[in-house]
Amino acid sequence: MTFLSTAAAQTTENPFFQNYNTPHQTVPFHLIKNEHYLPAFQEGIRQHQQEVEAIVNNPQPPTFKNTIEALEYSGMLLEKVSGPFFNLLSAETNDELQDIAQQVSPLLTEHSNSVFLNDKLFERVKAVYEKREKLKLNPEQKRLLEKTYESFVNNGANLSEADKEIFRQLTKELNLLTLQYGQNVLKETNQYNLLIKDKNQLAGLPEDVLTTLAENAEKAGKQGWLLDLKVTHYVPVMKYADNRDLRRELYLAYSSRCMKGGEYDNREIIGKIVNTRLKIAQLLGHGTYADYVLTRRMAEKTENVYHLLDQLLDAYRPQALKEHEDIQHFADENNAYFKVQAWDWAYYSEKLKSEKFAVSDELLRPYFQLENVKKGVFGLAERLYGIHFVKNPKIPVYHPEVEAYDVTDRNGKFLAVLYTDFHPRDGKRAGAWMSEFKGQWKEGKKDNRPQIVIVMNFTRPTDAKPALLTFDEVTTFLHEFGHSLHGMLSDCTYPSLSGTNVYRDFVELPSQIMENWASQKEFLDQFAFHYQTGEKIPVELIQKIKDAENFNVGYSCLRQLGFGYLDMAWHTLSSPFEGDVVDFEKQAVAKTQILPYVENTAISPTFNHIFSGGYAAGYYSYKWAEVLDADAFSVFEKNGIFDQATAQSFMENILKKGGTEHPMILYKRFRGQEPSIDALLRRNGIISTNN
């Protein structure tokens, strides 16, 4: 492996090797080119290696400061490069970036292994760890020491030399496999399109959607309406298209991605991923990959995850079955002479919901203009936590659609930079997420403030109308914004413990609790104005939103439980997988299925969360955190949804603390007790509010 020398690297005029001359030292995206990444990664690795060697060769006895803290603050150039690169790989990728990722991935894995498998470094870490009770550390220092030691152990430090080599090879293979999996999903999704030339085939679709599809076709140099598998096009077709054959065609295309053979087929890769993970777990002394992962989660062990999933299945399945009967009955009444299938569910659900509650996405959209929603969401943070958002056009962005904001506290003190990226593009993967270009940490008296990004795939504006969001999109905005608050308000000393660096089954609490405000009248009154008339959203419409909140709640819960059971099935394997991916999945999710099984479809080939994201043996955390968020929001409901004392307590005990203490300690400090599932069951109407 050839690395550039520091001197040579400086002469390349690579922006990563210079101090950023931008507001708040934000990433100079206008200067960074693709060719800058690989040399910067190489130099970052070289510098980090030097820093590690300096720790190892320190003649002084190992201490918390000269070993644990020194290691924590090492590798800053590598972090400086990784932040923008991996964010753009998800939000604004291209073939060249993906090729660079294929080159960089093994380098980073090899480097990580060289750190964690360094015997002399581990000796120093272990020496400090064994003296931990005598060191008079504060809680954050103690947590950093524990996390550092555990990271070495979990990354093979206690293995024999022969097993360390096996570990190196397995982790390198796994990294490349997960990278390839995610790239396949994006490429296969982008590859599909369907041109409709007869508008009658699109009957039922809202005019806004038709306009978007027509613009889509025009951009492609075609006449008609061009459908693709982006969520902003796929979901409206499934909800509104009267043409059942069209719904079926799109559903089958979406649900059979990466499993039809060819270069983007992920089925073989899935087997390699789960088997490689199993080998790693067993090499480290665990029976399954889930056992390995859950040692660093609130759930702690597999039995506790299944206990939660089974509890929720028992509670929600009767409701889901009743909802299925209601949808089938409604379809029958509307002359549907067939059993409701997967491609019918959203269509008839939307119609029944509209009939039952007189509310629909299209009725609500005019009140959720994106610009107003932004003001509302930012205003909520201002009201709860006293923080302010001011757009700063001088901050460079990675795409013209991205906006950057200065974030300050109630005293005008700078807190963070927030980037927002709202609309789908070919270079952006599906879904919504929060990430960071730079985290938060302190060195001496300097508080390095974070640079946070939230990325969505919301309905685009058209030539005739501004971007008007669905209620679900408003809720998604609140969710990702909750993650961003966790990052922006962070007040921690060490980077690896700050912001969202918490247990995976705790990280969704700050995001999911924000969703609770979406249907609150006092919140909606602040920003939900009709984009044409300026009329405030009517009180009766808000009541309809509230009334419809638990519509199909049983089905929705079982769908999420299905993902959780599937994830756990893949990661509780104790022997190598040699079967058929589709058959395995069918058995794993059987108990959560309400609708008839559809041949030649599966979730696993495009389940990015667990096969290329960080949720392997962790998808259950959405339901785990839902229990937490319902329980936590009950305090706001009791004291007032804008109650300053409650918000201050949540900020001080949860949002600012990152991973500096065990999450249950933090939660109990806010709540005064451990969470109960009852608040969630009451919120969803599964048990009476009087219970």
Q: 630 pLDDT band (50/70/90 cuts)?
A: very high
pTM score of the predicted model: 0.92
Place of tokens 């902003």: 232
Q: At residue 109, does pLDDT exceed 70?
A: yes
What is the tens place of the pLDDT at every residue in 327-382? Answer: 999 999 998 889 999 999 999 999 999 999 999 988 999 999 999 999 999 999 99
pLDDT of residue 596: 96
pLDDT digits (tens, 9 = 90+) for 11-66: 458 999 999 999 999 999 999 999 999 999 999 999 999 999 999 999 999 999 99
Other Cβ atoms closer than 10 A to 491: 17
Rounded distance, CA 493 to CA 144, Å?
Answer: 10
Please state the rounded mean pLDDT for residues 459-464.
88
* 79 noted as active-site residue: no
pLDDT(249) > 80: yes
- Is the pLDDT confidence value at 214 over 90? yes
340 and 380 both lie in a single domain? no
pLDDT of residue 166: 97
78 and 196, same domain (yes or no): no
Q: Please state, in angstroms and rounded to a whole number, the distance separating the CA atoms of residues 372 and 481.
A: 15
Closest-CA residue to 451 (of 496, 420, 497): 420
pLDDT for residue 633 is more than 50: yes
Task: Read off the pLDDT of residues 258-290 as tens digits, 9 standing for 90 and up.
Answer: 999 999 999 999 999 999 999 999 999 999 999
Mean pLDDT on 193-209: 95
Given this model, what pLDDT does residue 3 score?
36
Q: Would the pLDDT of 5 be above 80?
A: no
User: Are 689 and 583 found together in one domain?
Assistant: yes
| Pair of tokens at residue 61 | 């006895």
pLDDT of residue 2: 37
Q: Are residues 676 and 554 in the same domain?
A: yes
Check pLDDT > 60 for residue 429: yes
Residue 687's pLDDT band, with cuts at 50, 70 and 90, is confident
**Within a 10 A sphere around the Cβ of 52, how many other Cβ atoms?**
20
| Candidates 72, 173, 188, 480; catalytic one | 480
680 is a domain residue: yes
Q: What number is the average pLDDT over the span 76-99?
A: 96
Per-residue confidence at 7, pLDDT binned at 50, 70, 90?
very low
Residue 66: inside a domain, yes or no? yes
Cα dihedral: 505, 511, 516, 520 (round 10) = 170
Q: Is residue 538 part of a domain?
A: no
Length of the chain (residues):
691
Three-class secondary structure of residue 141 per DSSP: helix
389 and 516 belong to one structural domain? yes
Residue from 591, 571, 669, 644 nearest 287 by CA: 571
CA distances from 188 to 180, 317, 383, 478 (A): 12, 34, 43, 29
Tell whether the model's pLDDT for residue 1 goes beyond 60.
no
Q: What is the mean pLDDT of the chain?
A: 95
Instruction: Give residue 421's domain range.
Output: 365-498+507-532
**Domain holding 275: CATH number?**
1.10.1370.10
CATH of the domain at 413: 1.10.1370.40
Asked if the model's pLDDT at residue 502 lies above 70, the reply is: yes
Do 343 and 490 belong to one domain? no
One domain for residues 369 and 485: yes
Tokens of 382: 């201002």
